[in-house]
Amino acid sequence: MSAERFEKKKTIDLRKKHIGPSCKIFFSHDPIKIVQAKGQYMYDEKGQRYLDCINNVAHVGHCHPDVVKAGAQQMELLNTNSRFLHDNLVLYAQRLQATLPDKLSVCYFVNSGSEANDLALRLAWQYTGNKDIITLDNAYHGHVSSLIDISPYKFHQSSDAEQNQYVHVAPSPDVYRGKYRGEHLDPATAYADEVKDMVQRVHKKGGKIAAFIAESLQSCGGQVIPPQGYFQQVAQHVREAGGIFIADEVQVGFGRVGTHFWAFQLQGEDFVPDIVTMGKPIGNGHPMSCVVTTKEVAEAFMSSGMEYFNTFGGNPVSCAIGMAVLDVIVKEDLQGNALRVGRYLTNLLEKQKEKHPLVGDIRGRGLFVGLELVKDRLKLTPATAEAQEVIYRLKEQYILLSADGPHRNVLKFKPPMCFTTEDADLVVDKIDHVLTGIGKVIFIIPEEGHFVAKPAVMQSTGTQKVHTNYIMFFKVTKHWGKTLNLAIVLHCHY
């Protein structure tokens, strides 16, 4: 079956006309049209294969046949809401619970990571009777209003967004670039003390802490691995203040970190959050998510007297799909694969660090890995333009990777969990090639017209000031050949 209904140009035109312009597209000057996918590969309308290094939603592999079959079979039988008894709902809740500490035993099924985190906030407000939320710098927790408020990654992007008075931003526990770094004797305590001080400042102003929320490993924030013991100490400070701990596992859960099923477990057996939110990988692309909490929190939520109803959450089809995802993770030992291939990939990247001064840091757990590019290893000057260059050059070679973090200089690896050592070899080999070439590019423009100037090129020629987050489009004039300085900036695209 051909999955393409329009020629690419028409798809682009229709998208421009009918889809909100703030819905960002990858590689906006030359977007990719994907029509099919399997495993860790995606295919464009011409059948060109791309290696997907970033899609943690297609957790067990794009269009995994077991997951597709489970969904289709249940869809043929019944799909309805959770006001009827259905075994899929309770079976799936039981299966999820078995992956978690005993205390986390009550599930609310919802439909997206945002819905899960929004509900987690409601649970926290209701359980504690308090209002103030502590979040981490550079955090992203979702797109609904309550979550934009607690997502500095987003509200810092907008000049007119005001920080909600109940939201307090603690430093990201980033031991590479953050306030307390690798050389610090006890960064876990230092970062946790920041939260403790924040709690005290909130109290002084008459506020009361409802919750601390953090991703177990920050993803959009730049693939940050918090120092071990940090969560335990934060939880203690927050609980002493009457608040609870919400662990956002929307990006990093379901075995991705290799050694554990949940990334919060990396902190140690003695740490148990009060609420865990799940999303993205949970349905391998099917829109579903979940909030798991304790009996006490759930009972407090009930005591408000308000019914919780969610039309689609926990429907039999979603639950069948969720169970199939869990089955495939076990059957194909994908958690083990994440551990093995993740280690292999990290070792390869470490060698790149020895070879290329631009590589400042390699960090990761399992198949959640970050490579931070810096222009200066002492000053940690972010190599933002170079990171964009890597992403664009890889795309030209049919490899999909992204750059994120507050300076958009961290290359993010979070591929489908069936990623192989051969895939790792391929992508690292290409990165090696691009890093070797950066700074040595000679700009040859064959004819008059528009072209995209690559940031590294612009920097090396020194013809333009490059805004770190922008790719610049130039128009070449007839006289350009004499001097590159005649190039005119036409558009700036993020």
Ligand X SMILES: Cc1ncc(COP(=O)(O)O)c(C=O)c1O
> Which residues lie near ligand X (CB under 6 A)?
112-114, 117, 140-143, 215, 219-220, 248, 250-251, 279
Q: Are 493 and 29 in contact (CB under 8 A)?
A: yes
Q: What is the Cα–Cα distance from 421 to 340, expressed in whole angstroms? A: 9
**Shortest reach from residue 222's CB to ligand X, in Å:** 13
Q: Which is nearer to ligand X, 136 or 417 (CB)?
A: 136
Q: What is the Cα–Cα distance from 429 to 444, expressed in whole angstroms? A: 25
Q: Which is nearer to ligand X, 137 or 215 (CB)?
A: 215
Beta-bridged to residue 209, according to DSSP, are 132
**Shortest reach from residue 21's CB to ligand X, in Å:** 19
Q: What is the Cα–Cα distance from 312 to 57, expressed in whole angstroms? A: 19
By Cβ distance, which residue is nearest to ligand X? 113
Q: Which is nearer to ligand X, 217 or 297 (CB)?
A: 217
* 1, two tokens: 């079956």
Q: Which is nearer to ligand X, 144 or 486 (CB)?
A: 144
Q: Which is nearer to ligand X, 59 or 141 (CB)?
A: 141
Q: Which is nearer to ligand X, 118 or 386 (CB)?
A: 118
Q: Which residues of 460-480 are buried (b: 16+ CB within 10 A; e: fewer)?
A: eeebbebeeebbbbbebeeeb
Show Cβ contacts of residue 472 under 8 Å, excluding neighbours closer than 6 positions: 452, 453, 455, 458, 464, 466, 489, 491, 492
**Shortest reach from residue 104's CB to ligand X, in Å:** 18
Q: What is the Cα–Cα distance from 306 to 122, expressed in whole angstroms? A: 12
Q: What is the Cα–Cα distance from 78 to 96, expressed in whole angstroms? A: 22
* 286, two tokens: 């099917």
- Cα dihedral across residues 90, 91, 96, 98: positive or negative: positive
Q: Which is nearer to ligand X, 119 or 399 (CB)?
A: 119
**Shortest reach from residue 145's CB to ligand X, in Å:** 13
Q: Which is nearer to ligand X, 310 or 397 (CB)?
A: 310
Q: Which is nearer to ligand X, 60 or 487 (CB)?
A: 60
Map residue 438 onto helix, strand or coil.
coil
Q: Which is nearer to ligand X, 141 or 177 (CB)?
A: 141
Q: Are 443 and 459 in contact (CB under 8 A)?
A: no
**Shortest reach from residue 276's CB to ligand X, in Å:** 12
Q: Are 273 and 302 in contact (CB under 8 A)?
A: no
Q: Which residues of 401-426 are buried (b: 16+ CB within 10 A; e: fewer)?
A: bbbbbbbbbbbbbbbbbbbeeebbeb
Name the phi and psi angles at 419, rounded to 5: -50, 140
Q: Which is nearer to ligand X, 142 or 258 (CB)?
A: 142
Name the phi and psi angles at 18, rounded to 5: -110, -15
Q: Are 460 and 476 in contact (CB under 8 A)?
A: no
Which residue in the block uniquely carries the two structure tokens 């992508």?
427
Q: Are 416 and 59 in contact (CB under 8 A)?
A: yes
**Shortest reach from residue 216's CB to ligand X, in Å:** 9
**Shortest reach from residue 116's CB to ligand X, in Å:** 7
DSSP symbol at 164: P
